């Protein structure tokens, strides 16, 4: 599933084509994705100008001139594809089609249909079921070592599971949790409550660094992920631990084989020597 860097990359790719543009055509080609569309979905979007496009956690938010907000979640395989002019032929899994007054067409293509689209208003957005309770954005000033330490205090789960808890910090998924823990030198097995002080400072910094580098690289291409322009992200070539079971640790003075364990049904990759 796309994580924060992939969603941020898609959002930035879409912004030049959608911000300030009016939607002159909205086509809903099925009644639902992961959940049903709002009954008045196409009517509320058609004719509206998009005044801002931004990301919250793993969601893309399009703010419209009347105060409506289009919420988009890519799910497992969702892609937003851009073409100049109407596509000659729509694909089977093009479930929502948008067109702007500049004849730019955006197709939401989702073969597995784990993605979602919904509508809210600026006033109700924070309380929407997809966004309510989300933790701080990791790349913002609202996320720091002390803030992370306070969120982890008293948590009896492993730190890896805590990082995946969107109430602790928003947008981090399995890949970047593994990478950040490795950079911070923290074992994924460590009790979350014990990540305090300098450990929390190291981890917060590692999270910010890993996410920033991944965004700069256009995200990580795993299975179905593509950027908005169809190009592949390439941060996966910079993985230090993720999906590298049995390969040597990249720390020069270590070199031990990296290990894999399953936590909460997800693979965790780590170095038993470098991460404590």
CA-based torsion, 175, 241, 259, 276: positive or negative: negative
Whose CA is closest to 143, among 211, 53, 194? 211
Residue 208 catalytic? no
For residue 36, what are its two tokens? 């049903």
C-alpha to C-alpha distance for 250 and 252, rounded to whole angstroms? 6
Catalytic residue among 12, 113, 208, 266: 266
Catalytic residue among 3, 6, 8, 63: 3
Catalytic residue among 2, 5, 136, 138: 2
- DSSP type of residue 201: H
Residue 31 catalytic? no
Residue 3 catalytic? yes
CB atoms within 10 A of CB 193: 15
Catalytic residue among 21, 55, 56, 58: 58
Burial letters for 142-178: b for 16+ Cβ neighbours within 10 Å, e otherwise? ebbbebbbebbeebebbbbbbbbbbebbbbbbbbbbb
Query: Rounded to 10 degrees, what is the CA torsion of 60, 63, 69, 74?
Result: -20
The C-alpha angle with vertex 130 and arms to 139 and 42, in degrees rounded to 5, equals: 110
Residue 123 catalytic? no
Could you tell me the maximum CA-CA distance found in the chain, to the nearest angstrom? 62
214, 172 in Cβ contact below 8 A? Answer: no
Residues annotated as catalytic (active site), given as ranges: 2-3, 58, 266
């Amino acid at each position: 599933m796309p994580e924060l860097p992939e969603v941020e990359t898609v959002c930035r790719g879409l912004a030049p084509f959608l911000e300030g543009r009016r939607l002159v055509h909205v086509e809903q080609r099925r009644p639902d994705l992961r959940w049903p569309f709002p009954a008045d979905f196409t009517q509320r979007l058609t004719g509206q100008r998009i005044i801002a496009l931004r990301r919250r956690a793993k969601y893309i938010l399009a703010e419209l001139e009347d105060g409506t907000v289009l919420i988009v979640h890519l799910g497992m395989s969702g892609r937003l594809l851009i073409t100049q002019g109407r596509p000659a032929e729509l694909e089977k899994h093009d479930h929502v089609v948008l067109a702007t007054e500049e004849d730019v067409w955006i197709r939401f293509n989702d073969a597995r249909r784990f993605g979602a689209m919904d509508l809210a208003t600026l006033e109700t957005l924070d309380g929407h079921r997809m966004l309510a309770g989300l933790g701080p954005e990791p790349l913002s000033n609202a996320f720091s070592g002390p803030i992370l330490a306070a969120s982890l205090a008293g948590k009896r789960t492993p730190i890896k599971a805590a990082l995946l808890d969107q109430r602790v910090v928003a947008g981090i998924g399995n890949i970047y949790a593994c990478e950040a823990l490795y950079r911070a030198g923290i074992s994924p097995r460590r009790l979350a409550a014990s990540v305090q002080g300098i450990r929390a400072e190291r981890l917060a910094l590692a999270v910010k660094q890993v996410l920033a580098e991944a965004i700069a690289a256009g995200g990580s291409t795993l299975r179905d992920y593509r950027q908005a322009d169809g190009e592949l992200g390439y941060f996966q070539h910079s993985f230090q631990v993720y999906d590298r079971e049995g390969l040597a640790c990249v720390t020069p003075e270590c070199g031990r084989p990296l290990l894999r364990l399953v936590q909460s049904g997800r693979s965790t990759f780590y170095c038993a020597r470098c991460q404590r």
